[in-house]
């Protein structure tokens, strides 16, 4: 990978993200022209424009970017530590764990805490995060047997995913239609409450764990080899894997808590990055981070505006948007 | 060594026989339990001394029996299709659904529901089949169409990508035409509407797939060791993969058009069987078929009893029954072989 070409790719991606973000600021039920956006940013917009831009659209955009980054990095790490190309947070049960806790929360606390109250809006993500970590702990404990074997980790992940998924459906069926819908929307992925508080809650996770993962790039490079090679090269495989798994779960858990079960992004962004800049993690992960952010922000724009005022689930658009390019890359390889 | 081999063969036969015994019990259970419980002797009467005026006989012949038989075949077909997919892609996360069969069938179904709402149930079945077929062909072509050829990873990735793409189109159509509810019913899967005409299509199509699968089982064992090994031993991999995909398509297509997207069986049963018998697909395929049938018939009984008179999605029940056992095996054997 030539340094120059790499910097070019990174710059292009950042430009694309900026363009999409600007577009996203313009579009919506109340459309605000680029000129007006600029005026509002320098403090000369109307009260209404300020409210729409700063309190509704901007936090939504920042959230979308952060969630996209979190899911992509999480997917990259999981694909490497399990040595499996199909791995992503969803498939090993992290989304299902988060979803199950959300369902439990709504099921048991709906009388105590009314669903659209601000208390529930802020406690639901915490429950989702708890669920994600519960799933991860169960997976880790069950696959521990004198160490972790990547295949066993994946297999146990499938099992835990299926178990949580089933429990989720059974609880969900006992709900009244209103709650049922809420859970369905949540599960299919939705940046539900664009609010600065969420941004502040999500930001620390990303600021800690994404740099951590990039810092661990060399370990990840070694880990995609077999375990025996990795340990003979001096990687403290077990401890490193635990930390990386923790980072992956933290990123996915925080993203899922804010954005629901957005599927496919954690799978496809790392693959696209790998096909563009090769498998070395120090190059691949930053690119995957940006690609994830770009795909999610663009998908969010389309989901909100394509059939406005009806909005589509953002997961649907992610698939439509990223598959053709992904297929092209598969064909080219 | 030789003696050990024969001992193993015997053990495998024991698995099949135990499986068939359980299947028999589950089938009887499936006929007995329901909104009205039926006495055991009535079952024999209804089969051997059928009486048109006896309502219980009619219930057995027209509702319970096709449902029991249908669920046995659906379970068997899904398990075998899953085993083939895992062997061919050498990926433990592979399941019949990653070839896009389920997604394609869903698109076919939604398309006719949206544009030809007057079509009969049989027409819907055909549409689902056509949708599944087109999707599989696209996946195969894309997996195959590059310089490096059809590598397992590429097949799996192409399958997942195309499947997700097709699924998105399906959900857009269904959102636009307000078919979400019908679609989610179909996706949740269920055997409530199984009658003899569906069972007939199911058995005919699936059996063709099953025969192909058994025919290539030996080659699958080689393929699961790696493409290079198989080629080195003189195997025409592309032919075997083509046949395997046709078989997966027929098996999954038959199952999915009958029962909707019953997840999990195709993923977990092959693993359970592999833990028990190792990596020989001549054994994995038939034992998977029997175990898959047992699991689905048993789950279907639970599914209609647990929240009666409402039916619980059978996929959830298969998970609840299968997961503890699966986790136990995954821990015990360390998930070898794949």
Q: Facing residues of A144 across strands?
A: A148
Cα separation of B136 and B267, whole Å?
A: 18
Of A154, A312, A316, the CB nearest to B93: A154
Partner-chain contact B92 A154, CB within 8 Å: yes
Q: Is B46 on the interface with A (CB under 8 A)?
A: no
- Secondary structure of residue B306 in the 3-state scheme: coil
DSSP result, B39-104: -HHHHHHHHHS--TT-HHHHHIIIIIHHHHHHHHHHHHHHHHHHHHHHHHHT-TT--GGGGTHHHH
Of A152, A163, A271, the CB nearest to B334: A152
Which pLDDT score is estimated for A230? 63
ipTM: 0.75
Q: Is A169 on the interface with B (CB under 8 A)?
A: yes
Partner-chain contact B93 A84, CB within 8 Å: yes
Report yes or no: B78 and B96 within 8 Å, Cβ to Cβ: yes
Count other Cβ atoms within 10 Å, centred on residue B35: 10
Angle at CA of residue A264, ends A63 and A167, nearest 5°: 95
Range of the domain at A276: 3-332
Partner-chain contact B320 A87, CB within 8 Å: no
B176 CA to chain A: closest CA distance, Å?
9
Best residue in B78, B82, B86, B93 to probe A by mutation, most A CBs within 10 Å? B93
Which pLDDT score is estimated for B2? 57
Class of domain B66-333: mainly alpha
Name the pLDDT band for A116 (thresholds 50, 70, 90). low
Cα separation of A180 and A251, whole Å?
A: 27
Partner-chain contact B310 A173, CB within 8 Å: yes
Closest residue, chain B, to A168 (C-alpha): B316
* Contacts across the A-B interface (CB distance below 8 Å): 142
Per-residue pLDDT for chain B (338 aa), expressed as one digit of tens each? Answer: 456 667 777 888 888 999 999 999 999 888 888 767 777 777 777 777 777 777 777 777 778 888 899 999 999 999 999 999 888 888 777 787 777 888 898 899 889 988 888 888 778 888 888 998 999 888 888 887 766 767 777 888 888 888 888 988 888 888 778 777 777 777 766 777 778 888 888 899 999 999 999 999 988 888 888 777 777 777 777 888 889 989 998 998 888 888 887 877 888 899 889 888 888 889 999 999 999 999 999 999 988 887 777 777 888 888 888 888 788 877 765 444 44
Q: Which ranges of A144-261 does DSSP label H, i.e. alpha helix?
A: 150-173, 177-187, 196-215, 217-223, 227-232, 237-259
Partner-chain contact B142 A331, CB within 8 Å: yes
- A123-155: pLDDT as tens digits: 777 888 899 999 999 988 888 877 777 778 888
pTM: 0.81
- The closest of A55, A54, A52, A68 to A20, measured between CA atoms, is A68
Partner-chain contact A149 B161, CB within 8 Å: no
Which pLDDT score is estimated for A117? 63
Which pLDDT score is estimated for B336? 45
Of A152, A163, A316, the CB nearest to B335: A152
Best residue in B94, B184, B266, B335 to probe A by mutation, most A CBs within 10 Å? B335
Question: Distance of alpha carbon A23 from its chain centroid, rounded?
Answer: 22
Q: Is A149 on the interface with B (CB under 8 A)?
A: yes
Which residues, numbered 280 to 309 in chain A, qualify as contacts with chain B under a Cβ-Cβ cut-off of 8 Å? 307
Best residue in B180, B190, B330, B334 to probe A by mutation, most A CBs within 10 Å? B330
The structural domain count of chain A equals 1
- A210-237: pLDDT as tens digits: 999 999 888 888 888 766 666 666 657 7
Of A86, A155, A327, the CB nearest to B271: A155
More confident position, A209 or B177: A209
Which pLDDT score is estimated for A62? 92
Of B148, B263, B307, the CB nearest to A333: B148
Partner-chain contact B175 A310, CB within 8 Å: yes
Which pLDDT score is estimated for A269? 93
Of B153, B315, B330, the CB nearest to A159: B330
Set of chain A residues whose Cβ sits within 8 Å of the Cβ of B92? 84, 151, 154-155, 158
Name the pLDDT band for A106 (thresholds 50, 70, 90). confident
Which pLDDT score is estimated for A296? 93
Which residues, numbered 236 to 295 in chain B, qualify as contacts with chain A under a Cβ-Cβ cut-off of 8 Å? 263-264, 267-268, 271
Which pLDDT score is estimated for B335? 43
Per cent of chain A over pLDDT 70 is: 88
Domain segments of chain B: what residues? 66-333
Of A159, A310, A327, the CB nearest to B327: A159
Give yes or no for a cis peptide into A309 (omega within 30° of 0): yes
Which pLDDT score is estimated for A72? 95
């Amino acid at each position: 990978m030539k340094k120059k070409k790499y910097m070019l790719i990174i710059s292009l991606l950042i430009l694309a993200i900026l363009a999409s973000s600007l577009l996203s600021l313009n579009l919506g039920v109340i459309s605000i022209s680029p000129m007006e956006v600029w005026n509002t940013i320098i403090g000369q917009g109307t009260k209404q424009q300020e409210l729409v831009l700063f309190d509704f659209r901007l936090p939504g955009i920042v959230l979308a970017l952060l969630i996209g980054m979190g899911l992509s990095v999480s997917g990259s790490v999981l694909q490497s530590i399990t040595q499996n190309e199909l791995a992503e947070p969803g498939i090993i049960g992290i989304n299902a764990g988060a979803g199950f806790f959300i369902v439990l929360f709504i099921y048991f606390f709906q009388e105590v805490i009314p669903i659209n109250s601000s208390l529930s809006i802020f406690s639901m993500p915490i429950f989702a995060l708890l669920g994600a970590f519960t799933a991860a702990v169960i997976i880790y404990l069950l696959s521990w047997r004198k160490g972790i074997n990547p295949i066993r980790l994946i297999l146990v992940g499938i099992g835990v995913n299926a178990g949580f998924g089933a429990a989720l459906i059974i609880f969900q069926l006992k709900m009244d239609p209103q709650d049922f819908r809420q859970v369905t929307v949540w599960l299919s992925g939705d940046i539900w409450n664009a609010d600065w508080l969420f941004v502040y809650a999500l930001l620390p996770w990303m600021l800690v764990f994404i740099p951590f993962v990039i810092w661990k790039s060399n370990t990840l490079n070694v880990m995609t080899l077999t375990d025996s090679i990795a340990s003979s090269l001096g990687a403290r495989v077990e401890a490193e894997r635990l930390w990386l798994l923790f980072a992956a779960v933290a990123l996915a858990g925080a993203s899922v808590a804010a954005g629901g079960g957005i599927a496919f992004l954690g799978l496809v962004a790392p693959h696209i990055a790998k096909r563009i800049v090769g498998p070395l993690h120090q190059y691949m992960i930053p690119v995957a981070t940006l690609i994830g952010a770009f795909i999610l922000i663009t998908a969010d724009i389309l989901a909100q505006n394509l059939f406005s005022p009806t909005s589509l689930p953002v997961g649907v658009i992610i698939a439509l948007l990223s598959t053709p390019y992904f297929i092209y890359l598969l064909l080219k390889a | 060594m030789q003696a050990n081999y024969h001992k193993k063969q015997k053990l495998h036969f024991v698995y099949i026989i135990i499986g068939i015994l359980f299947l028999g019990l589950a089938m009887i259970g499936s006929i007995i339990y329901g909104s009205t419980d039926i006495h055991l002797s009535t079952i024999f009467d209804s089969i051997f001394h059928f009486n048109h005026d006896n309502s219980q006989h009619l219930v057995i012949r027209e509702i319970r029996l096709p449902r029991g038989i249908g669920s046995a075949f659906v379970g068997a077909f899904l398990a075998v299709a899953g085993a083939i997919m895992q062997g061919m892609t050498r990926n433990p996360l592979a399941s019949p659904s990653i070839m896009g069969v389920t997604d394609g069938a869903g698109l076919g179904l939604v398309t006719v529901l949206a544009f030809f709402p007057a079509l009969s149930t049989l027409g819907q079945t055909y549409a689902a089949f056509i949708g599944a077929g087109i999707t599989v062909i696209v996946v195969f072509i894309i997996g195959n169409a590059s310089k490096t050829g059809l590598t397992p990873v590429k097949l799996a990735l192409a399958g997942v990508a195309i499947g997700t793409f097709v699924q998105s189109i399906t959900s857009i159509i269904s959102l636009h035409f307000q078919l979400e509810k019908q679609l989610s019913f179909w996706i949740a899967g269920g055997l409530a509407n199984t009658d003899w005409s569906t069972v007939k299509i199911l058995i005919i199509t699936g059996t063709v797939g099953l025969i192909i699968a058994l025919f290539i089982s030996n080659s699958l064992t080689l393929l699961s060791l790696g493409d290079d090994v198989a080629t080195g031993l003189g195997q025409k991999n592309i032919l075997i993969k083509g046949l395997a995909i046709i078989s997966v398509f027929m098996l999954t297509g038959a199952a999915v058009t009958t029962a909707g997207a019953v997840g999990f069986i195709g993923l977990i049963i092959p693993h359970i069987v592999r833990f028990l018998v190792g990596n020989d697909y001549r054994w994995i395929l038939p034992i998977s078929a029997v175990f898959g049938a047992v699991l689905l018939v048993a789950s279907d009984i639970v599914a209609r009893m647990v929240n009666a008179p409402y039916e619980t999605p059978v996929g959830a029940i298969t998970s609840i029954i299968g997961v503890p056992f699966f986790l136990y095996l995954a821990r015990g054997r360390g998930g070898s072989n794949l």
